[in-house]
Structure 1
Amino acid sequence: MSRTLTEAELIEAIARLTSDRLTEYLAAEIVIPEQSNQGLRYQRIDVARLELACELHDQYDMEADALSMMISLIDQMHGLRAELREVLNAVEKQPEPVRQQLIEVIGTARFSRR
């Protein structure tokens, strides 16, 4: 589903989101909506990010700038997980001797840093 939401639809969809809170989150760039002829439009990922921002704001009394940094770190972790998954898939496609050699090299590097 690629349907986008207007600000009113977004606020209706997220129980804890108010117009003032959305304005604060936009200023902190927690979400960056698309500009269209009909105004700002929000994607499904924006809904998830705003739900998380509202939850963290309410539970931990985090300010918008801190929320922005926290969500940015979460984005980075997701990106790293995706990259690691790609590396693991590439390793899995290698012949057994190559896989064993990689396991040894990675294990040695991992344990030698301690």
Structure 2
Amino acid sequence: MARHYSETEVVAILDDLDRARLQSFVSAQVVTPVVTPQGPAFTEADVARLQLLCDLSEFYDLRPDSLGMVMSLIDQLNTARGDMRALIQAVASEPDEVRGRIMTYVRRVRVTGQG
């Protein structure tokens, strides 16, 4: 079962996070707590995301609304990386002939920019 952290626990874990900042991140919808019988809670992934949000807002002076755009781009990049990893595994499972054709096609696209 996944571990959930209360608002109090998250604020205690992350040095750069206080309740007001946490609420601003939730209000900006850059992190969304899960609803539990005990109240709003955050997953381990949320805690890591909150640390990144704190770092971005501190180092780059980004406001919560700007953080939404940055986090959306990061989420898209992570999705693309996962898709690429799955695609690489799928290609690796194909016979040599198929992998060779795929590599030839990829090289042609890199050189010409056309498929």
TM-score normalised by length of structure 1: 0.95
1:46 aligns with 2:46: yes
For CA contacts below 8 A with separation 6 or more, give which structure has more relative contact order: 1
d(CA) in 1 for partners of 2:83, 2:34: 27
Per the alignment, in what secondary structure is the counterpart of residue 41 of structure 1? strand
Q: After superposition, what is the alpha-carbon deviation per residue over 1:18-50, rounded to whole angstroms, capped at 9, x for unaligned? A: 111011100111111111111101100110110
- SS of the residue corresponding to residue 62 of structure 1 reads coil
1:31 is paired with a residue of what secondary structure? coil
What corresponds to 2:80 in structure 1?
80
1:31 aligns with 2:31: yes
Asked if 1:110 corresponds to 2:110, the answer is yes
Residue identity matched to 1:24: S
One-letter amino acid of the counterpart of residue 88, structure 1: I
2:20 alignment counterpart: 20
Identity across matched positions, percent: 33
Moved over 6 A (4+): none
- CA–CA distance in structure 2, aligned partners of residues 34 and 42 of structure 1: 6
Secondary structure of the corresponding residue to residue 57 of structure 2: helix
Cα displacement (A) at 1:110:
2.2
Query: Cα distance, 1:100 vs. partner?
Result: 0.6
Task: Please name the residue that 1:64 is paired with.
Answer: 64
> For the aligned residues, what is the CA RMSD?
1.3
Structure 1: gaps of 5 or more residues: none
Question: What's the counterpart of residue 101 of structure 1?
Answer: 101
Task: Name the TM-score, length of structure 2 as normaliser.
Answer: 0.94
Shift of 1:113: 1.8
Q: Which residue of 1 aligns with 2:8?
A: 8
Partner secondary structure for residue 4 of structure 2: coil
1:87-113 deviation per Cα after TM superposition (whole angstroms, max 9, x unaligned): 111111111111110001111122212
